[in-house]
Structure 1
Amino acid sequence: MPKLYYSTLSCGGANYIAAHVGGVKFDENVLVNIQTHKLAATGEDYFEINPKGNVPVITFEDGKKNLNENVGTLYYIGKNGGLLGEDETATMNALGFLASEWHKGVGAFFGKPEGAAREKAVANLAKQANFFIDFYLEGGKNEYMVGNTFTIADIYASVITSWSYFIGLNTEIPEALIKHHERIQALPKVAEAVKIMKDYEASVAK
């Protein structure tokens, strides 16, 4: 069976959540310390598994090439867990937007930009947030991103939006997107997955 390598708060965590929600089983869910690039439980060098050093990664035992890009890993989980929705193409389009625009828009603030660089980042964040709301949530009328059906895109989007709380950016996020994030996090299976991840990470850190 394949293995999933992830970290709790990164986009890799979205894969763990999606797998839990969709009932997709892995031989092992392997927590990675993304700061040290070591496996949290054993201290093994993560670069030996993925030379790129990023999470998520799904590895296979049958010689099939690893999946090491978030859109690919989420597609694998969505396909096997029934989380692609009725319009698979639209879901992939949403994942593309999240990976190329929303992820980068929020992620830009981890570098703590200042002055003109921050102003540019804030303007881009507002632009992407408005597009997210208008195009995917239809002005805030829809509860979910694709055909008003819960998909892997909603899980990924919610994880990205959650980063805003850790970097003091949540006041810059429009209410419609905060509500979308809270709605997804409140889903029983999502909340259960988040708790399992956090509890395990805390146990390994002891």
Structure 2
Amino acid sequence: MKLYYSPGACSLSPHIVAREAGVAVELVKVDLKAKRTESGADFLQINPKGSVPALQLDDGELLTEGPAIVQYLADLKPESGLAPANGTLARYRLQELLGFINSELHKGYSPLFNPATPEGVRSERKAALSRHYALLEQRLAKQSWLLGDEFSAADAYLFTVTNWAGHVDLDLSQFGTIAAFQQRVAKRPLVQAAMQAEGLISNVSA
């Protein structure tokens, strides 16, 4: 399988999940502005949406959208515990969290990366993000991970988007539990391996 990614983008989430699950994927770096892969291929011919992540399966099928991809990868190795079993309430809780992170956090950050976004819109988006983080702060004050005692695909997604805060001047200093969560995820060896592979951090053993 091939995972099309851009360093530090939302594609880091399925990259982490693949490593945590022990699923081998070939990483293909994409220049999102040029819509070209590292080898020069036209990315729009691969994924007409022009966005990452995109997962090309061994049979040639293409799966897009992060929440779908992380569940697919987790289900390849159910023993990893990254996604509860299908049909259980716990699985719907995972989907609930993935949907919340996708619609309220991920999309909330998007206009903040655009320099043309008016200041009024920026302020409104930051205020909304802070409200959403307050809910997650309450949840994580009661448990180590979003679903309880075990790291899941939702944690990988939250970690990925929350890493963007510093790039858009979003102040999360009031959320100490979120900060502790970010540190816990960042210390996971396979998360570090994913970030090293994307060039986001240097070799921590160096």
TM over 0.5: yes
Letter in 2 for 1:24: V
**Corresponding residue number in structure 1 for 2:187:** 186
For residue 58 of structure 1, the aligned residue among 55, 58, 74 is: 55
- Cα pair distance change 1:6/1:159, threshold 3 Å: same
Q: Does 1:107 align with 2:110?
A: yes
Identical columns (%): 28
Matches within 5 A, 1:1-206: 2-26=1-25, 28-40=26-38, 42-62=39-59, 64=61, 66-81=62-77, 82=80, 83-85=82-84, 87-112=90-115, 113-134=117-138, 136-137=139-140, 140-171=141-172, 174-198=175-199
Are the structure 2 counterparts of residues 182 and 11 from structure 1 closer, same or farther at C-alpha, using a change threshold of 3 Å? same
More deviation in 17-26 or 42-51? 17-26
Q: What is the root-mean-square deviation of aligned Cα atoms in Å?
A: 2.1
* Structure-1-length-normalised TM-score: 0.85
CA distance in 2, matches of 1:173, 1:194: 26
DSSP-derived class of the 1:147 partner: coil
Residue 63 of structure 1: CA displacement? 5.3
TM-score (norm 2): 0.85
Offset, 1:173: 6.3
> How much does 1:36 deviate?
1.6
Count of paired positions: 193
**Structure 1: which amino acid aligns with 2:106?**
H
Query: Which deviations, in whole Å up to 9, do the C-alpha atoms of 1:118-163 show, x marking residues without a partner?
Result: 22112211211112223x32xx232110123210110110010001
Gaps of 5+ in 2: 202-206
Hey, what's the Cα distance between the residues in 2 that align with 1:165 and 1:148?
Answer: 28
Deviation (angstroms), 1:32: 1.0
Aligned to 1:67, what secondary structure does the other structure show?
A: strand
Distance in 2 separating the partners of 1:39 and 1:187: 29
- Counterparts of 1:192 and 1:85 in 2: how far apart (Å)? 24
